[in-house]
Amino acid sequence: MWKTLNYEVIGKSHIKAKKVCQDKTFSYNQNGVIVSALADGAGSYEFSDVGAIIACKSICKYIAENFDELINISNANEVITKIVNHVVDDIENKASEMNCDKEKLSSTLLCVAIKNDDVMVFHVGDGLIAGLKNGELKTLTMPDNGEFANATYFITSPRAFEKARLLKGKTTGFQGFALMSDGSSASLYNKKLQKPAFAIAKLIIGLQYTFSTAYLDTVKYLMDYEIHERTTDDCSIALIASNYIDEATFNQLSKKEKCKLFDIKLNSKDSSLQERFNILKYTSTTKELLDIAKFINLSKRKTLYRLKSLAKLGMIERNKDEFTSSII
C-alpha cells in the first residue's frame, strides 16, 4: 500500500508579474496502480499552466490503465513512444479547443507509478526524482537542461522521444519517492554532494509515519516559508510513501512519533499506543468485531471506537463487522 501528497506554491517572480503558478501536480489511484506526476510549465508560454495539468492527468490515467502492458515491454523506447504519443495527443486536443499551437502548452513531465512490487519512473526535462531505499537517499533521475542552465526539454518538444528517461524496477526496500520541480530541487538537491538533501528523507518518512491530514501543514510550511524563500521560481513537490509498518520499525519510533502515527495526544499511555498497534497486527488477516474485542480485552463499544479511529486514518478497512489492516 502507498499514499501520496502533493503541493505547489507560486514563485515570487510570478507574483510580481501577476502570473499564475505554472507548476502542477496530480496523483491517481486506479486498477491497483498508485501514480503521481509533476509538470513545470514553460515560463515563456502563456498557457503552460494548462498544459502542465493536462500532461499530469494524461500520464497518470494512461499508465494506470495500461501499467501491466507497459511494465512488461522490454524495449524502453517503445514504452516512451507510447507514453509521449498519448500525452501529446491530449495536449494537442486541448490546444485545438483553445485555438492555439501546442507549444503554448509546453511543460516538463515527471512521473512515478507503482503496482504491487513493480515501479516505473518517467522523466522529461528538468526537475528531479529521488527515492528513499533502506534509509538511503538515491537520485533516480537528474535535471536535463540541454546546453544551457536556464533551458530544458518539454513533453511537446520534437526531441521528447529522445530525451525522455524511463526506469523500471522493484519497490523492495523503498520507503518512498519524491518528485520535484527545478524550483524545489534548487533547495532540495545538494550539488556539492550530488545527492538529494536530507530534508527529502524526512519528508518521505514523515508521510510514511503520519496518517493525518495535518501532515500537509508540515509540507506547506516547508515549501511556503523555506523552499519558496530561496528562489523566485514556482516550487512543487509530489511525495509517494509506503503505507507499511512492521513491528521492528514501530518499536524504533519515539513516543512522539507514535502519537503522530495514531493522531492522538502526546500524554497518551504507552499501553494505549501498543494496543492500537496490536489491533493492526491482529487484523493483518480479517477479523470480526467480537474477536478483536476479546483479543484486546475491551468492550465491543470501546473496541469499535478504536477501530473507527484507525479506519479514519486509513489504517483499517471495514466491511460491516469485519476489519482488515491496510498497513501490516
Domain final residue pick, 244, 272, 290: 244
Instruction: Tell me what pLDDT residue 212 has.
Output: 53
169 close to 119: Cβ distance less than 8 angstroms: yes
pLDDT of residue 147: 47
Measured CA angle at 153 (ends 148, 155), to 5 deg: 170
Model confidence over 232-271: pLDDT tens digits? 999 999 999 997 777 877 887 889 888 888 888 999 999 9
Q: What pLDDT score does 251 carry?
A: 83
Alpha helices in the chain (DSSP H): 12-16, 48-71, 76-98, 160-163, 182-188, 198-208, 215-222, 247-252, 255-262, 270-282, 289-296, 300-312
Domain match, 149 and 295 both: no
Per-residue model confidence (pLDDT) at position 44: 84
Residue 119: its pLDDT value, please? 98
Do 68 and 179 share a domain, yes or no? yes
| 146 in the same domain as 84 | yes
Instruction: Look up the pTM and report it.
Output: 0.83
Residue environment code for 176-188, b if the CB has 16+ CB neighbours within 10 A, otherwise e: bbbbbbbbbbbbb
* Domain that residue 270 falls in: 248-325
Residues 56, 162, single domain; the answer is: yes
* Per-residue pLDDT tens over the stretch 293-324: 999 999 999 999 999 999 888 788 899 899 99
Domain boundary among 211, 244, 277: 244
Same domain for 270 and 219? Answer: no
Same domain for 142 and 282?
no
Distance separating alpha carbons of residues 279 and 277, to the nearest angstrom: 5
The list of the chain residues with pLDDT below 50 reads 147-148
Split into its structural domains, the chain has a count of: 2
d(CA 97, CA 91): 10
CATH number at residue 297: 1.10.10.10
Q: Are residues 35 and 184 in the same domain?
A: yes
> What's the confidence (pLDDT) of residue 72?
98
- The CATH number for 146's domain is 3.60.40.10
